[in-house]
Amino acid sequence: MSKKLEGKSVVIIGASGGLGSGFAKSFSEKGAKLLLVGRNEEKLIYVKNSLNGDVDLAISNVTDFIELEELSKTIRQWSSEVDLIINATGFDVRKSLEDHSLEDVQKQIDINLLGTILITKMLINNLKDKKGSTILHIGGFADGRMAFPYYSVDVATRAGVYSFIESINREMELEGKQIRVTYFCPSPTETEAERPFHRLWEKMGIKIVPVENVADELIKTYEKKRNIGIMGGRITVFFAKVNSVMPRLADAITMKKYGKMLKEYLYGDLDATHQEDRIVVKAGTPSLMMTRIALILVILSFVFYGLAMLTPLAPLSIAFKAAVIPAFIIMGEIVWWFGVAIVGKQAVSKYREYLNPCKWFGCKGNKSF
């Protein structure tokens, strides 16, 4: 067992949920001292009884300023030196804005955005001002700003959290504080709340991961003292940046296709009992999507190279040209190698599949090595 978390004081808010209870299990196994926080005492007791070690409970509503004041006092009595506070609460609605009720809108704002701000404001002083002290908030897919259609209010709150955390970290650095606020964005997870959408994620080429894997990645993000942790690999991180800087390119690569899948899943003509079959027929394959991304990246690299070649002919100052040409070349190289890396991964995957004897002899249930 890793000794890094042994004896650490960790507060988990939303500990009765699918992610929160999984985090509690992982931290408990690693020897941390836990305070589990939630609104439902019965569920918290159930989670506590499934764990070993030093575990206490507190009841609180993160959207209520008065209750958070009381929680701050409870935490202070529980431990004089808290190392980590995890906010694992969250609420999302996946449907058109027209179909959102006012309650849907308000609940997402209250839990995802207002709750994050109030938890940070009210509980940050429960952390010792030392290197490693962290408040960690759970966000949405990729960097939380991936603007999938039918996620409009949810993504608005997650994007707000991203900017809030970016701002508050700069604020604390200017004030000379060592406390860090972290934004952790998990991959779609094997939880009860996410299970109805698993088939959709899979057809979009996005892997469903066990809660234990999410907990491991969260712990790595905390131990490496990062301001943001994004699950899903380099491609997810890269696509999140493309979506942020060049949303039209993101649309061309996959977002329009993803949007059609979401619309078909949420508002298709077939009844719910045939939803799974409908997705299988209409979604397409992840490998095709990756090949398309690679092709667009390679084309984009030639655009950058072309701009670098044309810049000397433009009526611009020598100083400006000297700055812009290397920038175009560097961008061209970065985009080129990303595209080549994706193509290479696809080629290796096909090669390994070809090496599978089941491919040659036609045995059932063939899988790549």
pLDDT tens across 323-368, in order? 888 888 888 888 777 777 766 655 545 544 544 445 444 554 444 3
Provide the pLDDT for residue 341. 72
Specify the residue for token string 């039209």.
248
pLDDT > 90: what percent of the chain?
Answer: 53
Query: Which amino acid, one-letter code, is at 167?
Result: S
pLDDT band of residue 252 (cuts 50, 70, 90) is: confident
pTM of the model: 0.75
Residue in the structure block whose two tokens are 């899979």: 202
The predicted pLDDT at position 15 comes to: 96
CB 168 within 8 A of CB 146: no
Letter for the amino acid at 61?
N
Q: Report residue 322 CA to chain centroid gap.
A: 38
Name 13's Cβ contacts closer than 8 Å, sequence gap at least 6.
20, 37, 38, 60, 62, 85, 86, 87, 88, 89, 119
Spatial strand order of the sheet with 84-87 comes to 55-59, 33-38, 9-13, 84-87, 134-138, 180-185, 228-230
Cβ atoms of 352 and 366 closer than 8 Å: no
Kindly report, residue by residue over 70-107, the tens digit of the pLDDT: 999 999 999 988 999 999 999 999 999 999 999 999 99
As a whole number, the mean pLDDT across the chain is: 84
Say how far apart CA 297 and CA 342 lie, in whole Å: 10
Q: What is the pLDDT of residue 277?
A: 41
Q: How far apart are CA 238 and CA 244, in angstroms?
A: 10
CATH number of 9-241: 3.40.50.720
pLDDT band at 137 (very low <50, low <70, confident <90, very high): very high
Question: How many Å apart are CA 277 and CA 269, to the nearest integer?
Answer: 13
pLDDT at 288: 55
Query: What are the boundaries of each domain within the chain?
Result: 9-241, 242-361
pLDDT at residue 114, as a whole number: 96
Query: What's the CA gap between 176 and 165, in Å, rounded?
Result: 16
